[in-house]
Amino acid sequence: MSYMRYSITSWGGTTGTNRILIIQKRIMRNINRKSWRTSCRELFKEQNILTFYGLYYLEVMLAIKTNYDQNTIELSNNNRYNTRQNNKGLIEIQRHRTTFYERNYIYRGVKWWNVLPTKVKNMKIETFKELVKKAAIEKVPYSMEEVDGVTYE
């Protein structure tokens, strides 16, 4: 897991990362002595192990949370008035022209951050990490599209 975690925010959104998930699923089946046709979603949940995409989600969200807490990210401020929208802790998504930018961890992290409930955004980093990890384990994402559907209770 530590090898996968190394600089995952930089390379986790690139192409070819699905091969890592396939290897991870093969290892899970071998450890649990399951057939090659067995679905691994329940195995990941039972063992409380993050998939590659779940780990990427966790690391990106922790990076955004750390920068948010240190006030190094510019919040969305569409106007100069103090409105309810400004108090939600939304981060402005930078304008771009390419899909290459959309694979960047900052873009994805900001997109995921803006979906979070305000209560979750204001948590301490330790509690935030536990909650994000729990949500990622529950979802067991097998792709970036599935990561977009991570929800919090």
Query: Which residues contact residue 64 at a Cβ distance below 8 angstroms, ignoring those fewer than 6 apart?
Result: 73, 91, 106, 109, 110, 112, 113
Q: What is the model's pLDDT at position 87?
A: 55
Beta bridge mates, 91 = 75
Query: Which residues contact residue 95 at a Cβ distance below 8 angstroms, ignoring those fewer than 6 apart?
Result: none
Q: What is the model's pLDDT at position 10?
A: 73
Full-model pTM: 0.83
Q: What is the model's pLDDT at position 70?
A: 80
Q: Which amino acid is at 142?
A: Y
pLDDT tens for the chain, 153 residues: list them: 677 777 777 777 777 888 988 999 999 999 999 999 999 999 999 999 999 999 999 999 999 999 888 876 655 555 455 555 555 677 777 777 777 666 778 888 888 888 888 899 889 999 999 999 999 999 999 988 888 888 776
